[in-house]
Structure 1
Amino acid sequence: MTEDPGRRCDVIVIGAGLAGLACAGDLCRAGLSVSLLEASDAAGGRMRTDRRDGFLLDRGFQVFNTSYPQVKQRMWLRGLRLRAFTPGALVHTPSGRLRFSDPTRRPGVAVDLLSLRPVAGRRDLLALGLLSARDLLGPVGALKRSADRTTRTALADAGISEELVDGFFRPFLSGVFLEDGLETSSRFFHLVWRSMLRGTQCLPAAGIGAVPGQLAGALPPGVLSRGTPVRALTEAGVELPDGTERHAPCVVVAAGPEAAARLLPGLTVPATRTVTTYYHATSRPPLQEPTLLIDSAQRFLNTCVLSEVAPTYAPADRSLISTSVLGTGGPGEEERLRGALAEVYGADTSSWELLDARTVEGALPAMPPPWPLSRTTRVAAGRYVCGDHRATGSVQGALASGARAAREVLADRGGRRGPA
């Protein structure tokens, strides 16, 4: 094994997703020399955007929430040129389309909530209002310390009827949690609901990849090495596939759960959720508003005309539709999906062009209760692991876990800066 000359540093961070970028950035600001190694050709991990024939295709449907504390702390939001979704969602039901709106943002649409019978009666609306007020206005610490159970149980205990759960919450949250049984931690649900009420759901004009791109662009020159996979951890640092070794007393594994478990044998990692997103193009938008559309029958997770949210996602004469389903899809999935989309949009989908189908394995960690909202990143002397699987499956969780790794590295070094 040969040491790569000149490749000694204080900390090696493996993986330039959000967690790795946050960790590397914080360590650099603390004065340490850092090497951030990314196996692929660009930073971002699961937050990547590809350009194809004038379209922007995110690697899976993703939404950027402006209310996350880590986002407020780290991101230059104006530089992302954010484009907002309508606050709320449209739900396709056998009896027609229902609009769930946030009356705190748009008081003029409060009448929409009164027209939701039989999905939501007045008692449901009162229960939903109380739940939302507690999550929106209460101290975040109280949410984090609350008893953890499944989201379905928490909704029932809050007085939400089965009709409203099955008519709205289950199909809506399936697209957030990537599971359709509402088995996810209620503490995480309340934090997500709070963030939705407090923030704006957006897309960057240049695609979701602009988010990690901004973080990567803020790193000092020479910190990020693309196309540099790591084969194994060694006593002195890491080994690359060509047998060369890079030395550092501290190594942070900021990869996904599968890669982290490979590099750190014995590490316990959660199960993960897989999602497939289909991208269709057409000459006319089937829905002329930037609104998420969900299906009460759950034939898909959600669908949206992305070019109505951010016109930059498609050429001027074309529209881009994103539709996501749980799992990897399969034979006949796209044809079946066209039939469902024709019904929910009320449009002829036979001429829609399939641009791509993107399967994202390990898109989110499974988060059943009791789920720790944060946990230490230390796994051994000089060895750390971070990522959303060590916190919560969200942009906030990934960034916060990376920040925690940086804090723990610095604490273990006794606050020393520069070479050890």
Structure 2
Amino acid sequence: MRTDVCVVGGGIAGLAAAARLVAAGLAVTVLEGTDDPGGRARDTRVGGFVLGDGAHLLHTTWPTLRQTISPAELQLGGFAAGVRICSGGGGLSAATEDAGGLSSEERTGALENSLQVHDVVRRVRFGAAPTRPQQTFSALRMPIGTAADKARLSKLLYRLGTTAPERALNGPEHSAADSYAVRGYSAELVDQFLRPYLAALAADEDLAASVRGADWLLRLLVRGRFAVAGAGINALVRELVRRLPNGTIELGVRVHTVRADRVVGGTGEIRARATVVAADPYSAMELLPGLHEPRMRSATTLWHSVDDAQLPFEPDRAPSVLIDAEPGSPIARTAVVSRAAPGLAPPGRALVATTVFGDDGKEPAALDRAVLGRLSHLHGVPQRRWETLDIRHVEHALVTMQSPHNFARPVRLIKGLYVCGDHRDLPNVEGALQSGHRAAKAVLEDLDVRYSPG
């Protein structure tokens, strides 16, 4: 079999590269080892709920995502600006625990009253209005850190919010821990805000991540909003597949040898003018010995449902991403995703996605019990009223940004042989799309094919 370009891997990065190469007029063959394209971007519909292998937290400012699929088609639903950092919560007050018969508004009042109780969760909002990044979440009035902390952080967030995101990624390279010490942040600010935030977004409770990546994540607090796909993350996969001619993707094909001019797998040998390896990082290393090995963390997404009327509203009535800063809590982040994107749940039911990093996936029932005990405090609903819908564990789910980290790792290995994926770029959906486009651009340059994407 002959083709212009053979793409090994049908995840988001591989599909993005293939779609761009097809648009440039090349013949492309995509080899995917599983029965469906999408890689780690998969979801299924169960009883009216849309459940994914990972609670893919997107962002309204990601340009490549918006260029690939319209927010309307993705049914992109935004959360309140920023996040809420949660701590404390040894138990609920009687007013909240016994409020089963109250309306949502009455439960909101009960929750607000319960916040006066010592052992109830404290929520601190971090975030600015997306259209006014100069209001750096009123950093000078936040109840965490010293006066010097507030002044320094406010200045940093103003700079990050009013400049291009590339500025953060092009800064000096240090670990977040070293950089925070140099910046003079107090232990209180680090432990009650910066560390939980990086743990929730980058699985980095040790602050070993590149401070450039950490600052890029901070920028997401003051520009745009975190969001989820109401149509499911598979809507993005379907859009990329739609751009490929029928027969482009071959499923269930295991590849064991790649060269610049050929790929050998379960269906035999495919001759090509170029080969793009878009497999997951560990599969890519098996095919390409010597490739940079990224540090990865497992992720477990626990999907729960509860009567929507039982959930209290936040004081501003906008759904929030909650980050758990309580020591010993298994939860990195949790959110009522159906309030940001109603299409994810049937009417009257709320869908809550909770992310845990680093669990080995061997005792899901025990993990579920621990998570439910904490969710009852974070969301203000007694544990007995929660229903567990599913627990999805992905062993190698997230590429960490451990310092030193290259956020634009080369995609061209030699002429004719390329590699892409979120391990070559930002470790998220946006990075996967960007790396796929960078690989396609390198292929077109080497094959001397002129193409200007619209």
Q: Same fold (TM over 0.5)?
A: yes
> What does residue 99 of structure 2 align with?
none
Following TM superposition, by how much is the alpha carbon of 1:170 offset from its aligned partner in structure 2, in angstroms? Answer: 1.3
The offset of 1:114, in angstroms, is 6.4
Between the aligned partners of 1:141 and 1:278, the Cα distance in structure 2 is: 33
Confirm or deny: 8 A CA contact 1:338 1:350 kept in the other structure.
Answer: no
Q: How has the CA–CA distance of structure 1 residues 100 and 121 changed in structure 2, closer, same or farther, with 3 Å as cutoff?
A: farther
Q: Which residue is equivalent to 2:54?
A: 60
Tell me the SS of whatever aligns to 2:255.
coil
Equivalent residue in structure 1 for 2:209, among 165, 173, 184: 184
> Quick check: 2:296–2:397 contact (8 Å CA) kept in 1?
yes
Contact 1:100–1:113, Cα closer than 8 Å, also in 2: no
Match of 2:299 in 1: 275
Which of residues 357, 380, 398 is equivalent to 2:432? 398
1:74 matches 2:99? no
1:21-420 alignment, distance < 5 Å: 21-94=15-88, 96-105=121-130, 116-117=142-143, 119-233=144-258, 237-241=262-266, 243-284=267-308, 285-288=310-313, 289-298=318-327, 299=329, 300-327=331-358, 328-331=360-363, 332-415=366-449
SS for the counterpart of 1:275 is: strand
SS of the residue 1:149 aligns to: coil
Cα deviations by residue, 1:360-410 (Å, 9 ceiling, x for unpaired): 222122222221111222234422111111122122321221112112212
What are the ranges of 5 or more consecutive residues in structure 2 without an aligned counterpart?
89-117
Deviations 1:17-47 (A, max 9, x none): 2211221122112221111222223322111
Amino-acid identity (%) = 35
SS in 1 for 2:394: strand
Secondary structure (helix, strand or coil) at the match of 1:231 reads strand
Mapped to 2, the partners of 1:388 and 1:59 lie a distance apart of: 17
Conserved in 2, the CA contact under 8 Å of 1:131 and 1:158?
A: no
TM-score (ref. length: structure 1): 0.89
Q: Greater CA deviation, 408-417 or 61-70?
A: 408-417
TM-score when normalising by structure 2:
0.83
RMSD (CA atoms): 2.5
Structure 2: how far apart are the matches of 1:348 and 1:330? 26
Change over 3 Å in CA distance of 1:318–1:198 after alignment to 2: same
Aligned to 2:14: 20
3-state SS in 1 of match to 2:381: coil
Answer with 166-175 or 188-197: which moved more.
188-197
CA shift in 2, pair 1:138/1:319, >3 Å = closer
Structure 2 residue identity aligned to 1:60: G
Q: In the alignment, is the contact (CA less than 8 A) between 2:260 and 2:416 conserved in 1?
A: no
Tell me how far 1:129 sits from its aligned partner.
1.4
The alpha carbon displacement at 1:256 in A equals: 0.8
Cα gap change, 1:104 to 1:235, in 2 (>3 Å): closer
CA distance in 1, matches of 2:137, 2:285: 51
Paired position in structure 2 for 1:4: none
- Pair 1:197–1:395, CA change in 2 (3 A): farther
Size of the aligned set, in residue pairs, is 408
